[in-house]
Amino acid sequence: MASLGRAVRSVLDPRTWLHQLRLAHFTAYSHTRPRTLLRRGPGVTFAPNVSFRNAERIEIGAGTHIGEHSVIWAGNSTGRIVFGEKCLLAPGVVVTASNYGIVRGTPVMDQPKVERDVVIGDGVWLGANVVVTAGVTIGAGAVVGAGAVVTRDLPPDCIAGGIPAKVIGMRPEPEETSG
């Protein structure tokens, strides 16, 4: 009987309902409202829990898919993120066009932001939990392995992995078929 009383008290606690309002607000500003500001081509899909920040500076090419729990964060004032067509982002990918300075003697959160565009070419595949930092261009057709942190540009059709991401190979040419 005591556990039933605790359950009833927790459900009737106004803090429970206030927290639900905070969660609804978070959903509105990071998931629902930004979707109306995105520029996206036909056939773009993304999981319902993808988080967009500053979506007015995000462009997503036709046929691109963004996986669950990904965060796409354009800069607060200038940094843009542009995805080409048919990009594939696995779950947990983070792409940011904004970063903080790191000058000694000033707390990081008090430093001016550094915003630089991120450009991801057509047909790029970003594996699970990849992080792409501000100012990076990833060439068309590149494949970035799970868990990589991309801090520098990657050429087209490369296979990259690691922290920081490095080119570890190139995608193979298609096999010729004789008929």
pLDDT in tens, 110-162: 999 999 999 999 999 999 999 999 999 999 999 999 999 999 999 999 999 99
> Shortest CA distance to 153 belongs to which of 165, 138, 142, 140?
138
- Residue 90 belongs to domain spanning: 37-170
Question: What pLDDT is recorded for position 23?
Answer: 74
Q: Would residue 26 count as lying in a domain?
A: no
Q: Is 20 helix (H, G, I), strand (E, B) or coil?
A: helix
pTM: 0.84
Q: Would residue 6 count as lying in a domain?
A: no
Can you list the residues of the chain whose pLDDT is less than 50?
none
Q: Would residue 118 count as lying in a domain?
A: yes
Q: Would residue 153 count as lying in a domain?
A: yes
Q: Which two tokens stand for residue 115?
A: 């915003």
Q: Cα 93–94–99 angle (5° rounding)? A: 165
CATH number of residue 97's parent domain: 2.160.10.10
Domain total of the chain: 1
Q: Would residue 82 count as lying in a domain?
A: yes
Q: Would residue 106 count as lying in a domain?
A: yes
